[in-house]
């Protein structure tokens, strides 16, 4: 009997549901071709539900999601809700509650995709950022003193544990070995200023690295790393970094791989349930017009197959279909300029998966 996987579908806000629909379409075709089944459960968590009910997430949300094999998320962020409420209340809460301590963000330039980097092509831009996803400045530790007065002080603490470094580094070293490309793992930090947090990262990096003699270790300050992303992206294989630096450098990464329309990521708990998403936002101004690019969500679907379901062949088939679509069928990766609509991009990729390319 065909294996059935349980997938939670969280369309979220704005264009989120539209792009997730296309990803689901492609995943269904891949399931059919590779002989497994997907059973979907849809959850309406997001800005509209919050405005209607006053509740950001039901208290049982994490528990409910952990009954699934994986989660596919569209985007969180609503123009009528104050920034921070949904992002913290849904996205960050789920990342934390489900212990998704890795945020995996591939930066790969597909054929035919325009990059703002002059003289760089797909052979130069193919690396992965492993962003720590549960600690650092994202824990919310800190506060105000003398709030609202002229002497006010605000603190925001970066909390990084050794165990948090170790589990993230282990994932990153294993991934570097498994990719088997340049066999180089680069720690990105700021050892010259953040002398406590990155001293810890650095010691943990080398202690762990001693167990991976086949992997070359490198280190970049985060500011220099931004420079090299633009000048020499081909130097990178796998990068490991903390939560905030990972957030920032992956927006730059997304731009050099062709923009938010095509940048996918996974919030991974290697021992639990993981959540895959386009790394861009909900783009509310494009909602309902069939012009948003679903490629990042489709790529997130391929990551889900690879990392959560272990359906590697199906994941590779989707990636090949994405590459043929970017190379031969789409005019651009920007919303409204693709030369086709949102649903057509989904149909095109799905058809190529069905055709068995
Ligand atoms: C991302 C986003 C989130 C983050 C925001 C929406 C909280 O920018 O997924 O990169 O900072 O992690
Ligand atoms: Mn971000």
Domain-wise residue ranges, the chain: 1-100+270-357, 115-257
Residue whose CA is closest, atom 9 of ligand 1? 279
What's the residue count for the chain?
Answer: 357
pLDDT score, position 3: 96
Q: Does the pLDDT at position 202 exceed 80?
A: yes
pLDDT score, position 111: 98
The dihedrals phi and psi of 267, each to the nearest 5 degrees, come to -95, 110
In the sheet that holds 126-132, the strands lie side by side as 36-43, 3-12, 70-75, 275-278, 264-268, 102-108, 126-132, 238-241, 184-189, 216-221
How many whole angstroms separate alpha carbon 229 and alpha carbon 161? 28
pLDDT cut 90: percent of the chain above it: 99
pLDDT score, position 54: 97
Q: Is 259 left (phi over 0), alpha (psi -120 to 50) or beta?
A: left
How many whole angstroms separate alpha carbon 319 and alpha carbon 101? 25
How far does the centroid of ligand 1 lie from the alpha carbon of residue 190, in Å?
21
Q: Does the pLDDT at position 1 exceed 80?
A: no
Residue whose CA is closest, atom 11 of ligand 1? 247
Q: What is the CATH number of domain 115-257?
A: 3.40.718.10
CATH 3.40.718.10 fits 1-100+270-357, yes or no: yes
pTM attached to this predicted model: 0.97
pLDDT band of 357, cuts 50, 70, 90 = confident
Q: Which of 263, 264, 183, 188 is nearest to 228 (CA)?
A: 188
How many whole angstroms separate alpha carbon 300 and alpha carbon 279? 9
Please state the atom number of ligand 1 nearest to the C-alpha of residue 88: 7
* Mean local confidence (pLDDT), 99-111: 98
- Ligand 1 site residues (CB inside 6 A) read 87, 91-92, 247, 279
Residue whose CA is closest, atom 6 of ligand 1? 87
């Amino acid at each position: 009997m065909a294996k059935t996987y349980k997938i939670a579908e969280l369309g979220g806000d704005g264009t989120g549901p539209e792009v997730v629909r296309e990803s689901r379409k492609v995943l269904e075709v891949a399931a059919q071709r590779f002989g497994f089944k997907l059973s979907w459960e849809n959850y309406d968590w997001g800005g509209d539900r919050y405005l209607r009910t006053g509740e950001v997430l039901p208290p049982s949300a994490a528990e409910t999601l952990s009954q699934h094999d994986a989660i596919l998320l569209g985007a969180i962020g609503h123009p009528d809700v104050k920034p921070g409420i949904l992002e913290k209340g849904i996205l960050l809460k789920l990342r934390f509650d489900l212990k998704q301590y890795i945020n995996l963000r591939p930066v790969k330039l597909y054929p035919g995709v325009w990059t703002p980097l002059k003289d760089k092509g797909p052979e130069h831009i193919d690396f992965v950022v492993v962003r720590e996803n549960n600690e650092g400045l994202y824990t919310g530790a800190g506060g105000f003193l003398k709030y609202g007065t002229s002497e006010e002080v605000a603190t925001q603490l970066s909390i990084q544990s050794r165990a948090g470094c170790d589990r993230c580094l282990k994932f990153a070293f294993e991934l570097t070995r498994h990719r088997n490309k340049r066999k180089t793992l680069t720690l990105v930090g700021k050892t010259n200023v953040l002398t406590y947090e990155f001293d810890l990262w650095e010691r943990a990096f080398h202690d762990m690295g001693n167990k991976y003699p086949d992997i070359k270790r490198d280190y970049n300050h985060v500011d220099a790393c931004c420079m090299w992303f633009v000048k020499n992206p081909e130097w990178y294989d796998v990068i490991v970094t903390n939560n905030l630096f990972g957030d920032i450098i992956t927006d730059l990464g997304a731009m050099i791989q062709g923009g938010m329309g095509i940048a996918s990521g996974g919030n991974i708990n290697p021992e639990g349930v993981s959540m895959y998403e386009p790394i861009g936002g909900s783009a509310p101004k494009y909602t309902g017009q069939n012009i948003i690019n679903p490629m990042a969500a489709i790529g997130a679907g391929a990551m889900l197959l690879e990392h959560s379901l272990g359906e590697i062949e199906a994941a590779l088939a989707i990636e090949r279909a994405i590459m043929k679509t970017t190379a031969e069928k789409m005019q651009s990766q920007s919303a409204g300029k693709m030369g086709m609509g949102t649903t057509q991009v989904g149909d095109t990729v799905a058809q190529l998966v069905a055709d068995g390319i």
